Amino acid sequence: MPAAEELRRRAAEAAGRCGVDLDAVAGDREGTSPVNGATVSSLRWAQVSEVDEAVARAHAAFKEWRLVPAPVRGAVVKRLGELLTQHKEDLATLISIEVGKITSEARGEVQEMIDICDYAVGLSRQLFGRTMTSERPGHRLMETWHPLGVVGVISAFNFPVAVWSWNTAVALVCGDTVIWKPSETAPLCALAANALLQRALSEAGYSTDVSQVVIGGAEVGEALVDNRRVALVSATGSTRMGRAVGPRLAERFGRSLLELGGNNAAIVAPSADLDLTTRGIVFAAAGTAGQRCTTMRRVIAHESVIDSVVERVAAAYEKLPIGDPMSDGTLVGPLVNERAYEAYAAAIEKAQAAGGEVVAGGDRVLADAAPDAFYVRPTVIRMPEQTEVVHQETFAPILYVMPYTTFAEAIELNNEVPQGLSSSVFTSDQVEAELFMSAGGSDCGIVNVNIGTSGAEIGGAFGGEKETGGGRESGSDAWRAYMRRATNTINYSGELPLAQGVTFDV
């Protein structure tokens, strides 16, 4: 494991290269690394009153930013993409240090930021409205889309910068300003990413108040949610967090975009290519140490192939290198903190009490080398049925495997859990694939065939149904959440006919 001082030095240097003045943000709030438990930052957290001040600045900046032509706003996002490319290694280093992602996944997260910038630049010239036929002669109906206002972004630790970029790149080209409340676990990631955006804004001659960061605990997030000048809050995190955020926004008629928990399953059919299936399962279930919202947590395998699937996945798990996420060859890094480990251990105990058999993993490792960090073996548990513990999302590398007999039963098991984010089926049967994607198939927001549940691309809208929250980020028409729609009627007839044939002569 790297020494504590070495980790702190690398974090400070990477943040500095991105433009973060650590002296200006220094304070007494220590940030630790899940890599070895060492302190890697000492920062000042925002007070609740500072959130209102930030919102006031963002609202003032919005009045100017909304008038900038969308393609010109897109040019600022293009510059952000260039700066992210230039500082890809710096941001990846901070991601690995603050949240424990292996290097390739950390680089992949930054690449996702670059990709959404490219997407948003094109979007800046495609914020289309419709023209509709009017029932009245000499009239035209059309809809126009306008900037919404201040957007609050609340992000989780597991994607400390990518989720911010999904929201921010799109919000900026839509004409909105952004205030970001990042995870307390990854403040340096947030400061570094925002510093690059503020540089892009400054170079183009725009106020840096267009994008701000407020670092703090739950009370800071609550202040952002409750501020009536924040038009939209995009919140990523647990279902519990969403239950708190949603009603508070609804009470003041603010907009919410919620991307919450996932309890994602793969159905493995008798016709599945088991080599491909195994690779898909292992990455989706063990990648990021099981700490993605799209992590595969359940496998629903046909009774004719379940033994082979369990054997293959367990064998692959035994070969997974676990350790320092920044070391070459490591595939599984640490859990984010001790609470995550306690949840992991408790879930395994509950599964065993419900008749589950631990086939692979199930224990903590490297405790001697890193006593203040929490590394675990990715775990496969064979379950007789889908019990209560399987219905709960445990943010750790635990994979429950259960049998099915008919495909209809498999779909029912897939849909039985309260979450509805991502799902997949491994099959060579076109009928099964089409059924799984149909209205009678998976009830999730992401439905895949012959790939795992994780690894979504930015071109498609990301999010899910039920307790996942219903929000959509990133691609497709997700941009509409960041704008307000106006329906316009233009009368060029010289007369004044009323709709629906109404007469009102005076």
Q: What count of Cα atoms within 13 Å lies in the side-chain half-sphere of residue 392?
A: 14
d(CA 124, CA 185): 33
Contacts of 469 (CB under 8 A, 6+ apart): 239, 242, 246, 258, 259, 260, 463
pLDDT tens digits, one per residue of 251-292: 999 999 999 999 999 999 999 999 999 999 999 999 999 999
The length of the chain, given as a count of residues: 506
The series of mean pLDDT values per 10 residues for the chain, 506 residues long, is: 91 98 97 97 97 98 98 98 98 98 98 98 97 95 98 97 98 98 98 98 98 97 98 96 96 97 97 98 98 97 98 98 97 98 98 98 96 98 97 97 98 98 98 98 98 92 96 95 98 93 88
Contact 25, 43 (CB under 8 A): yes
Share of the chain above pLDDT 90, in %: 97
β partners of residue 402: 300
d(CA 281, CA 424): 10
Alpha-helical regions (H) of 18-47 = none
Question: Six-digit token pair at 73?
Answer: 């706003």
Question: Six-digit token pair at 500?
Answer: 């629906």
d(CA 54, CA 56): 5
Residue 2 is predicted with a pLDDT of 84
- String of b and e for 105-115 (b: at least 16 CB within 10 Å)? bbbbbbbbbbb
- String of b and e for 172-193 (b: at least 16 CB within 10 Å)? bbbbbbbbbbbbbbbbbbbbbb
Residue 222 bears catalytic tag: no
Question: Six-digit token pair at 394?
Answer: 């445990």
Q: Rounded to the nearest 5°, which phi and psi values hold at 326?
A: -95, 5
Residue 506 is predicted with a pLDDT of 83
Identify the structural domains of the chain with CATH numbers, from first to last: 4-260+469-486 (3.40.605.10), 264-457 (3.40.309.10)
Ranges of beta strands (E only) in 229-349 are 230-236, 255-259, 264-268, 296-302
Residue 238 is predicted with a pLDDT of 92
Ranges of beta strands (E only) in 148-295 are 150-154, 177-181, 211-213, 230-236, 255-259, 264-268
Question: Six-digit token pair at 67?
Answer: 């008038």
Contacts of 437 (CB under 8 A, 6+ apart): 447, 449
**Could you give the angle at the alpha carbon of 287 between the alpha carbons of 99 and 306, nearest 5°?**
150
Contact 305, 402 (CB under 8 A): no
d(CA 458, CA 109): 11
Residue 455 is predicted with a pLDDT of 85
pLDDT tens digits, one per residue of 145-173: 999 999 999 999 999 999 999 999 999 99
Residue 1 is predicted with a pLDDT of 78
d(CA 468, CA 463): 7
Question: Six-digit token pair at 48?
Answer: 């609740």
Where residue 274 falls (left for φ over 0; alpha for ψ -120 to 50; beta otherwise) is alpha
Q: CA 99 from chain center: how many Å?
A: 14
Residue 243 is predicted with a pLDDT of 95
β partners of residue 143: 487
Residue 331 is predicted with a pLDDT of 98
Contacts of 442 (CB under 8 A, 6+ apart): 411, 414, 415, 423, 425, 436
Which residue, chain included where needed, has tokens 């955020």? 245
Q: Is 11 helix (H, G, I), strand (E, B) or coil?
A: helix
Spot the catalytic one: 105, 109, 222, 259: 259
Question: Six-digit token pair at 341?
Answer: 């480990």
For the question of whether the overall pTM of this predicted structure is more than 0.75, the answer is: yes
Task: Report the candidate in 155, 50, 58 with the shortest Cα–Cα distance to residue 98.
Answer: 155
Report helix, strand and coil shares of the chain as percent, to nearest 5.
40, 20, 35
d(CA 111, CA 485): 32
